[in-house]
Amino acid sequence: MQQELENKLMIFTDGASLGNPGPGGYGAVLVFPMLDEVVELGGNKPRTTNNEMELSAVIAAFSHSVTSTSHVHLHTDSSYVINGITKWVYGWEKNDWMTSQKEPVSHKELWQSLVSLVRERERATSVSWHHVPGHSGVNGNERADAIASDFAAGGNPKLFRGRLSIYDQKEILDTSYDEEEYAKRQAVKDRAKLKAYSYLSIVDGVIDKHPTWAECERRVKGKKAKFRKAVSAEEEKEIIEEWTNQNKK
């Protein structure tokens, strides 16, 4: 296992923007196990987008490591980057950098730079792309995110360059995460995006239904109450039955 790791260049990247567009930053962490070396990169731009910063982080990482011949394993939480470089660019190139909707590709110059860097690297070694769920506890991703966010907020974070053996992110090579816990958190986020069928509240044992959250909020604010969003008629019925049974106890 150790020998396998030593032949790899592990890269973690992330981008952030405060507003879309707005001030933004990017961060990258490059780990060279064979050299016992870690290099952190980062930068900012006063007006940008999250996607532009995600791309900038990857380009910075490839540009910095252009002379490396280790197998590249790039980890990012950006589906935009991974889908773009592994799928979409082929159609864009074929269509003279126009999308399927006949519109110019956003960040065309950045994509062209990335394509050039990746193809040059692939002449000497392999490049693998790995999607890492954001904020799932993967240290490399968390550190890249912290760098990007700090730069986006106008900070000037101290970037590490030195020996892997003294790097404070001790588990930087561990890309595992609690998939069950992440799935639960993702389900909560996905549910929050669903359109509400109704909002339910219970105050002093009395259950009421509301077509909007504003109406529900007015009823429960400042009171000892329960409230929940129902996304279907069936769920609404289940919640009412649950609360009704609880009142009977």
Model confidence at 31, pLDDT cuts 50, 70, 90, reads very high
Long-range contacts of 234-241 (CB under 8 A, 24+ apart): 235/197, 236/197, 236/198, 236/200, 236/209, 239/200, 240/200, 240/207
DSSP per-residue codes, 198-227: EEEEEETTEEEEESSHHHHHHHHTTSSEEE
pLDDT at 73 over 70: yes
User: What's the CA gap between 19 and 5, in Å, rounded?
Assistant: 38
Lowest mean pLDDT among 4-8, 96-100, 142-146, 237-241: 4-8
Average pLDDT, the chain: 92
Catalytic (active-site) positions? 14-15, 54, 77, 135, 145
User: What's the CA gap between 40 and 78, in Å, rounded?
Assistant: 19
Tens-place pLDDT, residues 130-145 = 999 877 789 999 999 9
Largest CA distance in the chain: 72
53-76 as b/e, with b when 16 or more CB fall inside 10 Å?
bbbbbbbbbbeebeebebebbbbb
Tens-place pLDDT, residues 186-227 = 666 778 888 999 999 999 999 999 999 999 999 999 999 999
Q: What percent of the chain has pLDDT over 70?
A: 93
- pLDDT value at residue 95: 95
Q: What percent of the chain has pLDDT over 90?
A: 81
pLDDT at 107 over 90: yes
- pLDDT value at residue 2: 45
| Sheet of 206-210, strands arranged across | 206-210, 198-203, 225-230
Model confidence at 248, pLDDT cuts 50, 70, 90, reads confident
Task: Give just the sign of the alpha carbon dihedral 50, 106, 42, 33.
Answer: positive
- 239 neighbors 200 (Cβ within 8 angstroms): yes
pLDDT at 182 over 50: yes
99-103 average pLDDT score: 91
- pLDDT value at residue 4: 47
76: amino acid identity, one letter: T
- 73 neighbors 8 (Cβ within 8 angstroms): yes
Q: Higher confidence at residue 190 or residue 228? A: 228
- pLDDT value at residue 3: 43
- pLDDT value at residue 193: 83
pLDDT at 5 over 70: no
Q: Note the Cα 175 to chain centre separation in Å.
A: 14
Lowest mean pLDDT among 3-12, 29-38, 127-136, 230-239: 3-12
